[in-house]
Amino acid sequence: MFLLDMMISMIFFILLIICVLVGV
């Protein structure tokens, strides 16, 4: 379950970065 949680966190982090880049 640790790997799954880490994957979800990484995906959320990538989406956040994309949103910031698109915002700029």
Q: Quote the pLDDT of residue 24.
A: 80
Cα 14 → chain centroid: 3
d(CA 2, CA 22): 30
Q: Quote the pLDDT of residue 17.
A: 98
| pTM across the whole model | 0.60
Question: 1-24, pLDDT tens digit by residue?
Answer: 689 999 999 999 999 999 999 988
d(CA 20, CA 17): 5
Which two tokens mark 8?
A: 């979800």
